[in-house]
């Protein structure tokens, strides 16, 4: 039996897509979620700040998750089911409680979200005791009253780091410090100072974690500040942020990943992957954005799927490939549908100034906008899709003033 659409991942992206598809008249939508409940990451975030864009409310995470599931009623939810592979022909392999199963659909949406960068890729030195963990694990332990730590040190200063501080204080732990390797926090410094005061936790910039001490359990960390090292006793290390797409399923033979850029699946301007039956949306595309942004992507991808099901999506080939010089990443990585309007999304490695320009293969500027980034180094630009016969690729760059 072939379903209309299979959605892999029941977070904000997947659930919003399900809602859009059902409203668009698709009957047979299956959401496959590996956790015992749908809802995605918000299920574990007790703090308020959810639902503003899509439900016009300010909710805590679990409330938002429930609203998403409710809005997608009519879909079939398969929980405790993990997709292990996507194969050509609209096939997904699913590990269900009743054994391994093969499922098939006319279209598949990949919406598997993110995870934080664990210890190893950060190349942190020292011993490998229990108690070095990501915010995700830390918050879940705290939420279930299982936190076996009382004096964590928090590494990183993206928003999620402050979320970790909040969780720690809420659970009665006493974080020792929040350390940021760079000279500036990743959030506006007022946010940092406010959090430092509110949670009574010292926030230290230009301070690098050098070594973890302790054999079975964490006993402390060596930190380096302006060339000098100091020992900071603590019983755990919370490594926050540096999110990366949970895009393992894109490593098979149906979908490919943008290994040098987003690290998520390669998509075109219709959220369509290499295999034209597979679409992708949400944080799996490029790392963390807030849920409102992600929900919108889920909606837009679902709209593309609706068009695909009725056969009026532009052909996936030929396409114009999109690349960047100088920026961290850009997506979509391909453009199809000559003459249509498309939006490119990019991220800088740091806050910067200068115009953002898109050039075609002959270096002609085909779109331009101010590229100043103030708080978030996130960028987007709108352009008209050029003819692949004229332009083999489009390059997105930041124009620095000629000397």
Partner 1 sequence: MICYRDHTVTSTAENGQWYLVLGRNFDVAIVGAGVVGAAVFREAVLSGLSAVLIERGPDILEGASKANSAILHTGFDCKPATLEHTLVQQGHARYCSVHQRLGLPLLRVGATLVAWNNDDLASLDTIARTASRNGVPLTRLDRAALVAREPNLGPSALGALVVENESVIDPWSAPLAYVSQAVANGGVLLRSTAVTDARFADGSWTIGTNPSTIRARVVINCAGLQGDLVEAIARPSPFTIRPRKGQFIVYDKSAHGLVSSIILPVPTPVTKGVVITRTAFGNLLLGPTAEPQDDRDNATLTQGELQALIRAGEKILPDLAHHDITAAYAGLRPATEHADYQIEALAARHWITVGGIRSTGLTAALGISAHVMALYEDTFGPLRPLPDPLWPTVPNLTQALPRSASRPGRSPIVCHCEAVTQSDIAAALDDPLVPAGSIGGLRRRTRCMMGRCQGFYCTRRVVELACGRLPGLEAASHDA
Ligand X SMILES: Cc1cc2nc3c(=O)[nH]c(=O)nc-3n(C[C@H](O)[C@H](O)[C@H](O)COP(=O)(O)OP(=O)(O)OC[C@H]3O[C@@H](n4cnc5c(N)ncnc54)[C@H](O)[C@@H]3O)c2cc1C
Give the pairing type, strands 48-50 and 99-110.
Answer: unpaired
Alpha-carbon distance 204 to 206, whole Å? 7
Residue 215 binds which entry of partner 1, ligand X, none, CB below 5-8 Å type-dependent: partner 1
Closest residue by Cα to residue 196 from 176, 171, 173, 223: 176
x/- binding map, residues 191-230, to partner 1, per CB under 8 A?
-------------------xx---xxx-------------
- Cα–Cα distances (Å) from 383 to 11, 331, 368, in that order, read 30, 13, 9
Could you tell me the smallest distance in angstroms from the CB atom of residue 108 to partner 1? 19
Residue 292 binds which entry of partner 1, ligand X, none, CB below 5-8 Å type-dependent: ligand X
Total number of residues shown for the chain: 403
Could you tell me the smallest distance in angstroms from the CB atom of residue 307 to ligand X? 21
Q: Could you tell me the sign of the dihedral formed by the alpha carbons of 293, 161, 173, 189, in that order?
A: negative
Token readout for 125 is 């030195």
Q: Residue 249: helix, strand or coil by DSSP?
A: helix
A 10 A CB-CB count for 371 gives 21
Question: Is 374 a binder of partner 1 (CB under 8 A)?
Answer: no
According to CB under 8 A, which one of 1, 36, 363, 402 is a site residue for partner 1? 36
Residue 144 binds which entry of ligand X, partner 1, none, CB below 5-8 Å type-dependent: partner 1
According to CB under 8 A, which one of 125, 227, 311, 403 is a site residue for partner 1? 125
Catalog residues that contact ligand X under the rule CB under 6 A. 8-14, 32-35, 40-42, 45, 47, 49-50, 82-83, 111-114, 135, 160, 163, 246, 249, 282-284, 288-292, 294
Counting residues that bind partner 1 (by CB under 8 A) gives 56
Any bridge partners for residue 370, and if so which?
355
Q: Return the DSSP state at 103.
A: E
Alpha-carbon distance 42 to 292, whole Å? 12
Q: Which among 1-9, 46-54, 117-125, 376-384 is the span making contact with partner 1, rule CB under 8 A?
A: 117-125
3-state helix, strand, coil in the chain (%, to 5): 25, 35, 40
According to CB under 8 A, which one of 140, 219, 355, 399 is a site residue for partner 1? 140
Question: Is 150 a binder of partner 1 (CB under 8 A)?
Answer: yes
Q: Is 145 exposed, middle or buried (0-12, 13-18, 19+ CB in 10 A)?
A: exposed
Residue 126 binds which entry of partner 1, ligand X, none, CB below 5-8 Å type-dependent: partner 1
Nearer to partner 1, 6 or 356 (CB): 6
- Residue pair 309/317 in contact by the 8 Å Cβ criterion: no
Q: Which residues bind partner 1 (CB under 8 A)?
A: 34, 36, 80, 82, 84, 95, 97-100, 115-116, 118-121, 123-128, 130, 133-134, 136-137, 140-141, 143-150, 169, 171-174, 210-211, 215-217, 235, 244, 246, 248, 251, 257, 259-260, 263
């Amino acid at each position: 039996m072939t379903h209309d659409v299979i959605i892999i991942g029941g977070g904000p992206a997947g659930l919003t897509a399900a809602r859009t598809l059902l409203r668009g008249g698709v009957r047979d939508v299956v959401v496959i979620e590996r956790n015992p409940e749908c809802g995605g990451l918000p299920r574990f975030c007790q703090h308020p700040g959810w639902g503003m864009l899509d439900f016009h409310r300010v909710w805590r995470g679990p409330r938002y998750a429930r609203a998403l599931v409710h809005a997608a009623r009519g879909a079939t939810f398969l929980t405790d089911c993990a997709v292990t592979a996507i194969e050509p022909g609209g096939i997904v392999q699913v590990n269900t409680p009743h054994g391994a199963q093969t499922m098939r659909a006319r279209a598949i949406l990949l919406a598997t979200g993110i995870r934080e960068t664990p210890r190893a890729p950060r190349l942190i030195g020292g011993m490998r005791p229990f108690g070095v963990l990501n915010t995700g694990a830390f918050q879940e332990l705290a939420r279930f009253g299982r936190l076996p730590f009382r004096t964590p040190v928090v590494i990183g200063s993206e928003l999620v780091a402050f979320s970790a501080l909040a969780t720690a204080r809420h659970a009665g732990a006493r974080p020792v410090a929040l350390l940021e390797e760079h000279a500036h926090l990743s959030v506006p410094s007022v946010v940092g100072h406010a959090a430092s005061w509110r949670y009574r936790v010292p926030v230290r910039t230009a301070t690098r974690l050098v070594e973890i001490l302790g054999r079975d359990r964490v006993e402390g960390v060596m930190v380096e500040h302006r060339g000098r090292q100091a020992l900071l006793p603590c019983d755990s290390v919370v490594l926050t942020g540096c999110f990366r797409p949970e895009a393992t399923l894109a490593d098979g033979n149906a979908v490919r990943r943008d290994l040098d850029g987003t690290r998520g699946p390669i998509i075109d301007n219709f959220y369509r992957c290499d295999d034209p039956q597979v679409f992708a949306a949400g944080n799996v595309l490029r790392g963390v954005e807030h849920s409102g942004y992600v929900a919108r992507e889920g909606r837009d991808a679902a709209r593309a799927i609706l068009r695909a099901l009725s056969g009026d999506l532009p052909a996936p080939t030929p396409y114009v490939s999109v690349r960047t010089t100088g920026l961290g990443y850009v997506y979509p990585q391909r453009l199809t549908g000559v003459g249509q309007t498309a939006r490119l999304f990019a991220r800088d490695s740091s806050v910067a100034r200068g115009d953002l320009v898109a050039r075609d293969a002959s270096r002609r500027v085909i779109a331009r906008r101010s590229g100043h980034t103030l708080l978030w180094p996130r960028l987007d630009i709108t352009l008209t899709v050029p003819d692949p016969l004229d332009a083999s690729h489009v390059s997105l760059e930041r124009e620095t003033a000629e000397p």
